[in-house]
Amino acid sequence: MKTYLADYINMLRVEKNLSPHSIEAYERDVNRYLHFLKEEEKINSLEGVNQKQIRGFIRVLNDADLAPASITRIFSSIRSYHSFLSEEQFVQKNPSQLLDAPKPSRKLPVVLAVEEVNKILGVVDTAKPLGRRDLAILEILYSAGVRVSELCDLRMIDLFLESEMIRVTGKGNKERLVPIGSLARECMNNYLKYERPALARKDRNLGKIFLSRNGRPLTRMAVNIIFNKWVKVSGIKRKVSPHTFRHSFATHLLERGADLRSVQEMLGHVDISTTQIYTHLDREHLKEVHRTFHPFEKKEKQ
């Protein structure tokens, strides 16, 4: 079967100017699709491909338990490939043209209970070297709900502690002001007063707030290591990450009556539908409370 795959990849490279990583992903996706057509559907010509075969391939991906986002990406690759074949008149029709992309289901994120957050924060030993820094990092992650990349990018000029705010630079370089609580401010002040000055003298840190032992700005990987270290010390066995603190921040605010628009603003979500996933989490929490404490539910479990 003549696939014109080399021509397609060349188009992605020259006309679309895609990155090598993206081109590699497209090529891998299309090769997987072509293998299915040849081996499973016994198709010898791309002219014979129809919507039924494409849907069949998507079902195979679903049966393989691929992540919904991965299936959506592969479908996008297939559609791009068929569009190219049709536009270049290598084939007469584009069977993917009228197909709707599979809609990825949103997986509810892991959220810690308030007691679990307190347990992690409570085990940080501020008497140890960089203990004040580590506690300030964890407090800002939870108090402000920032992403790890946003935390790493925080600069001294982004602190407005007297106003109880920090300036966060999010996706697309969009800035937002986020309140931080009294505990986070206290931890930040302790780090800035007792630890950061000595770290800042060791290297050129471009005014970043959170510094490594050698005085350089902390990386995302370093923050993950710090976070995982204290989670392990706390004894919590659940699989969590720094982003879990962001999820917990949003969920705990909504559980206590915060309005969705305010939480959206603090998280830096462009689309409120992204924030609404936390209302689903809140409903799951309410259902769990109902199952646990409703007298009829208890009778059923006895």
Tokens 């409370």 appear where?
Answer: 289
Residues designated catalytic: 147, 171, 243, 246, 269, 278
> Quick one: pLDDT at residue 284?
62
> Quick one: pLDDT at residue 302?
39
The last residue of a domain, from among 87, 106, 122: 87
Q: Report how far residue 183's alpha carbon sits from residue 191's, in angstroms, rounded to the nearest whole number.
A: 12
pLDDT at 288 over 80: no
Position 25 in a domain: yes
> Quick one: pLDDT at residue 241?
94
pLDDT at 205 over 90: no
User: What average pLDDT does range 162-166 have in this prediction?
Assistant: 94
The last residue of a domain, from among 68, 87, 106: 87
Ramachandran sector of residue 127 (left: φ over 0; alpha: ψ -120 to 50; beta: rest): alpha
Position 98 in a domain: no
Are residues 160 and 235 both part of a single domain?
Answer: yes
Are residues 139 and 192 both part of a single domain?
Answer: yes
Position 248 in a domain: yes
Are residues 247 and 133 both part of a single domain?
Answer: yes
> Quick one: pLDDT at residue 300?
43
pLDDT at 297 over 80: no
Strand partners, 174: none
Are residues 44 and 123 both part of a single domain?
Answer: no
Are residues 70 and 129 both part of a single domain?
Answer: no
Q: Report how far residue 85's alpha carbon sits from residue 245's, in angstroms, rounded to the nearest whole number.
A: 46
Q: Report how far residue 95's alpha carbon sits from residue 106's, in angstroms, rounded to the nearest whole number.
A: 28
- CATH number of the structural domain spanning residue 123: 1.10.443.10
- The 10s digit of each residue's pLDDT in 68-78 is 888 999 999 99
* Strand residues in 46-202 grouped as ranges (E): 159-160, 165-169, 175-179
Position 296 in a domain: no
Are residues 54 and 121 both part of a single domain?
Answer: no
User: What average pLDDT does range 168-178 have in this prediction?
Assistant: 92
> Quick one: pLDDT at residue 301?
42
Position 69 in a domain: yes
Rounded to 5 degrees, φ, ψ at 22 are -65, -40
Predicted TM-score (pTM) of the model is: 0.63
**In total, how many domains does the chain have?**
2
Q: What percent of the chain has pLDDT over 70?
A: 91
pLDDT at 293 over 80: no
Strand partners, 168: 176
Are residues 61 and 154 both part of a single domain?
Answer: no
Position 122 in a domain: yes
> Quick one: pLDDT at residue 285?
59
Position 102 in a domain: no
- The 10s digit of each residue's pLDDT in 227-248 is 999 999 999 999 999 999 999 9
Are residues 22 and 146 both part of a single domain?
Answer: no
In residues, how long is the chain? 302
Are residues 138 and 67 both part of a single domain?
Answer: no
pLDDT at 276 over 90: no
Range of the domain at 209: 114-291
Are residues 157 and 285 both part of a single domain?
Answer: yes
Are residues 49 and 132 both part of a single domain?
Answer: no
- The 10s digit of each residue's pLDDT in 84-136 is 999 999 999 999 988 887 766 566 788 999 999 999 999 999 999 999 999 99
Position 109 in a domain: no
- CATH number of the structural domain spanning residue 37: 1.10.150.130
The larger pLDDT score, comparing residue 206 to residue 267, is at 267
Are residues 119 and 80 both part of a single domain?
Answer: no
- The 10s digit of each residue's pLDDT in 8-52 is 999 999 999 989 999 999 999 999 999 999 999 999 999 989 999
